[in-house]
A = this chain, B = another copy of it.
């Protein structure tokens, strides 16, 4: 089964759109790295939280992607605009619609 990841991050005030843009800038690289679904969303109940929901062919592919130069560059660019408050949940994707 595929590897799923659901996580959230909080941005410093006024920077959510900018961080979302960074997250959405590397989609081709993610696809090449083995990501089949990568959803970036803004929390509806505040203006600082970003949620991501990801599906990868394996945990190994996901973890390896974190070591890619473009991923490291994106994290470095976003980090100054993040508060350091993260949540993360690893899952095994069982199925669904468009998964």
Count, chain A residues at interface, CB 8 A:
34
Q: How many copies does the complex hold?
A: 2
Cβ 8 A contact of A51, one of B35, B40, B41, B89: B89
**A96 within 8 Å of B by Cβ?**
yes
Q: Which residue of B lies closest to A91 (CB)?
A: B41
Cβ 8 A contact of A4, one of B38, B39, B91, B96: B39
Q: Which residue of B lies closest to A20 (CB)?
A: B94
Given A41-B91, A45-B90, A90-B44, A51 contacting B6 (CB threshold 8 A)? yes
Residues of A within 8 A of B (CB): 4, 6, 8, 20, 24, 27, 30-31, 35-45, 51-53, 55, 89-99
